[in-house]
A and B are shown apart, each in its own frame.
Chain A
Amino acid sequence: MPNTSLRGWGRTAPTRAHVVPVRSAADVTAALASAGPRGVIARGLGRSYGDPAQNAGGTVLDMTGLDRIHSVDADSGRVVVDAGVSLDTLMRAALPFGLWLPVLPGTRQVTVGGAIGADIHGKAHHVVGSFGNHVESLDLVTADGRAHTLTPSDDLFWATVGGMGLTGIVVRAVLVLHHVETAYFTVDTEQIDNLDELMARQSVDDEKYAETVSWFDAVTTGDHAGRGLLMRANHATLDELPPKLRAHPLRFDAPQLLTVPDVFPPGLLNRFTGKLFSELWYRKSPTKLGAIQNITQFLHPLDVLGEWNRGYGPRGFLQYQFVVPLERGDVVRGVLDRMHAAGQVSALNVLKRFGEGNRAPLSFPRPGWTLCVDIPVNDGLGPLCDELDELVLDAGGRHYLAKESRTTPEAIRRGYPRLDEWRKVRDAADPTGVFTSDMSRRLELTS
């Protein structure tokens, strides 16, 4: 009997499922044995925006209890962790050893299993690739209840990386972390007047920085349309730290100031507040080179506000993220123009240049521009997004499944030409279709 309502971080499209907490690989095997006809999917911390960790009428395994860090090897950087460990927890454990997670997305509240399933990326993608590139091996419980240790030489490993949990349940992984001297960044921030300049500027000197991202304003129009902040950083060395930070250079410096209460009315984010926010965000950081910043300041400014997704009110919001080839940077402008013409407001827009992709058939990153916008759900958003899909797909681009919540099966087939190759590997591992999710039904990822 379905008994728990689940929804994604975008707070849209809730469905109900039977949620089973698991604390061991044996629990996973037992849950698979007793699964009903509507199948099973794993869920971590629920930070995917849409519905990949929901399974209406079926079973959802709550992986957050499978949370042990088994070992940290300071010399090799190798860590052995359970799938339910969050990146936040892992960072806190690894930093004292001078180890840094090479791939960090916009939040640290993601489990290792979820990071593998979505093959997440961060601001360092152009240098280090995505999460799957740093997994040395993973333990996967397949539909028959057996655990397999997979390495990058296995096709099933790459089908699992980016496979949105549909190949089996990842229970443990061996990751290889990077060595750092400090937990701080030296950050170069440039305030740039418009989108064309921003993209031109972001295209040079990329290789000099470990992390690059730009935030820009999509509300302002005219000559200053797309004005923004280009932020690029390297890990600070011990010598670069000011004396007061030098005493504890590996301190996990990530403050959270307040939690957003769940009281926002619909329509809070509108043209006016969007403009105000964009103005403040732009003004807060004038051009400055070589600033020392902590993890929150540089990587996760939104983590300062816990539960910030509540700010979008009861109908929730969606994140629209796509990648287009580098030579099609014009699509970024096209998307913003269409959004503007349709009167849709996105207060925070993130632009990034991806480096090389990896072998995983459903991995999102590929060389190109990736744009991410937040839009509150309102009438007219559906048709607008369908139009944006056409722009993106016609340019040879695709959508990020971890943030997807409304596109069509056809759009995914076009964006991921290796879908059938992935399905073949998946179907061999799960011939009776035990693993399924609201997303896999909605996008017809599995048959």
Chain B
Amino acid sequence: MIDAVGNPQSVLVMGGTSEIGLAVVEAFASDRPLRVVLAARKSDRLDAARARLEALGCAVETVEFDATAPETHTEVVRTAFAGGDIDVALVAFGLLGDNEVAWTDVDAAVELAQVNYTAAVSVGVALGKRMTEQGHGAIVALSSVAGERARRSNFVYGSTKAGMDAFYSGLTEALRPAGVHVTVVRPGFVHTRMTEGMSPAPLSTTPEAVAAIVVDAVRNRRELVWAPGPLRFVMSALRHVPRPLFRRLPV
């Protein structure tokens, strides 16, 4: 159960090796050790993630999860909930991909769409169902500013995040009567494995900073947050810039 001061007892990370996902778990665990379920493909990185959280006193379980196999997702979520209620579920998996490959190669484009959108939807449906049954809980979906307005430089990724973002924004409303709280998080450029070697955009941030925003959002039951916060104003301006001008902006 999430208690009166907003501490969860159990957290599920869909995409259990996600740096932002793990930073969120660590932020919650810094107040109090948790039961953590990491859903990811088996890998050394997953073992390392487990060890890192166990060192903080967390009890960690892992569940095999393949984002490209949506037909398995109901079962994956069921297994993740088998050990007891899940108080907070993070939807933290995703691929950035190479935009120039993705918009010219069918397989690459479909993979991005499947992982970032289709899987996010199937996982969201399964999580919503389980949390409705348990009568409480919070789902945190890691979206992206890239979904807010597609740019030439990463529009395939941006389009998948736009779809994912719209789905979870709708899920926020749909699950509200069931007592399940959904938060959509829109980070900007985050220094992670995913963005390694790329030149950082303005207002770039770190997984730890995003995690602090997520923890605050869960505690205060916020439905939409930006990371960092000022991106909200930058993006609401950019959203309305006319195309001929937008095209020329260095974004």
A binds B: yes
Contacts of A386 in B (CB 8 A): 31-32
Is B219 positioned at the interface, with any CB of A under 8 Å from its CB? yes
Is A10 positioned at the interface, with any CB of B under 8 Å from its CB? yes
How far, in whole Å, are A442 and B5 apart by their CA atoms in the complex? Answer: 13
Q: CB < 8 Å: which of B3, B5, B179 contacts A16?
A: B179
1/0 per residue, CB under 8 A from A, across B128-149: the answer is 0000111110000000000000
Q: CB < 8 Å: which of A15, A315, A408 contacts B32?
A: A408
1/0 per residue, CB under 8 A from B, across A38-67: the answer is 100000000001110001111000000000
How far, in whole Å, are A146 and B82 apart by their CA atoms in the complex? Answer: 32
Q: B7 touching A382 by the CB < 8 A rule?
A: yes
Contacts of B219 in A (CB 8 A): 379
Q: How far is the CB of A13 from chain B (nearest CB, A)?
A: 5
CB-CB nearest in chain A for B220: A315
Is B150 positioned at the interface, with any CB of A under 8 Å from its CB? no
1/0 per residue, CB under 8 A from B, across A423-447: the answer is 0000000000000001001100000
How far, in whole Å, are A13 and B7 apart by their CA atoms in the complex? Answer: 10
Main secondary structure of the interface of B (DSSP, over half): loop
Is B245 positioned at the interface, with any CB of A under 8 Å from its CB? no
**Which of A2, A383, A386 counts the most B-chain CB atoms under 10 A from its CB?**
A2
Q: B135 touching A442 by the CB < 8 A rule?
A: no
Q: B179 touching A442 by the CB < 8 A rule?
A: no
Is A275 positioned at the interface, with any CB of B under 8 Å from its CB? no
Is A385 positioned at the interface, with any CB of B under 8 Å from its CB? yes
Q: B220 touching A13 by the CB < 8 A rule?
A: no
Is A189 positioned at the interface, with any CB of B under 8 Å from its CB? no
- Knowing A14-B179, A16-B178, A379-B219 touch, does A406 contact B133 (C-beta < 8 A)? no
1/0 per residue, CB under 8 A from B, across A1-42: the answer is 110010000101111110000000000000000000010000
Task: Give the size category of B's interface with A.
Answer: 20 to 34
Q: CB < 8 Å: which of B6, B7, B135 contacts A15?
A: B135
Q: B32 touching A442 by the CB < 8 A rule?
A: no
Q: How far is the CB of B182 from chain A (nearest CB, A)?
A: 15
Q: B31 touching A15 by the CB < 8 A rule?
A: no
Is B2 positioned at the interface, with any CB of A under 8 Å from its CB? yes
Q: B134 touching A383 by the CB < 8 A rule?
A: no
Q: How far is the CB of B177 from chain A (nearest CB, A)?
A: 8
- Knowing A2-B179, A441-B85 touch, does A50 contact B136 (C-beta < 8 A)? no
Q: B32 touching A5 by the CB < 8 A rule?
A: no
**Which of B3, B6, B219 counts the most A-chain CB atoms under 10 A from its CB?**
B3
Is B4 positioned at the interface, with any CB of A under 8 Å from its CB? yes
Q: How far is the CB of A42 from chain B (nearest CB, A)?
A: 17
1/0 per residue, CB under 8 A from A, across B172-214: the answer is 0000001100000000000000000000000000000000000
Q: A13 touching B179 by the CB < 8 A rule?
A: no
Is A165 positioned at the interface, with any CB of B under 8 Å from its CB? no
How far, in whole Å, are A50 and B85 apart by their CA atoms in the complex? Answer: 19
Contacts of B179 in A (CB 8 A): 2, 5, 14-16, 56
Task: Give the size category of A's interface with B.
Answer: 20 to 34
- Knowing A2-B179, A14-B179, A382-B7 touch, does A51 contact B1 (C-beta < 8 A)? yes
Q: A2 touching B178 by the CB < 8 A rule?
A: yes
- Knowing A56-B179, A315-B220 touch, does A406 contact B135 (C-beta < 8 A)? no
Is B9 positioned at the interface, with any CB of A under 8 Å from its CB? yes
How far, in whole Å, are A98 and B84 apart by their CA atoms in the complex? Answer: 52
Contacts of A382 in B (CB 8 A): 3, 5-7, 31-32
How far, in whole Å, are A123 and B141 apart by their CA atoms in the complex? Answer: 49
Contacts of B220 in A (CB 8 A): 315
Contacts of B178 in A (CB 8 A): 2, 16
- Knowing A2-B178, A56-B179 touch, does A381 contact B5 (C-beta < 8 A)? yes
Q: A441 touching B7 by the CB < 8 A rule?
A: no
Is A372 positioned at the interface, with any CB of B under 8 Å from its CB? no
CB-CB nearest in chain B for A11: B4
Q: A406 touching B4 by the CB < 8 A rule?
A: yes
Is A405 positioned at the interface, with any CB of B under 8 Å from its CB? yes
Contacts of B32 in A (CB 8 A): 382, 386, 408
Q: B136 touching A56 by the CB < 8 A rule?
A: yes
Q: CB < 8 Å: which of A2, A50, A316, A379 contacts B135?
A: A2
Q: CB < 8 Å: which of B5, B9, B135 contacts A56?
A: B135
Is A377 positioned at the interface, with any CB of B under 8 Å from its CB? yes
How far, in whole Å, are A16 and B180 apart by their CA atoms in the complex? Answer: 9
| New A-B contacts (8) at CB < 8 Å, excluding given A10-B4, A318-B5, A382-B7 | A13-B2, A55-B135, A56-B179, A57-B136, A382-B31, A386-B32, A405-B3, A441-B85
Which positions in B face A, CB cutoff 8 Å? 1-7, 9, 31-32, 84-85, 132-136, 178-179, 216, 219-220
6 cross-chain pairs, A with B, having the tightest CB-CB distances, nearest first: A57-B135, A16-B179, A56-B135, A405-B4, A12-B4, A382-B5
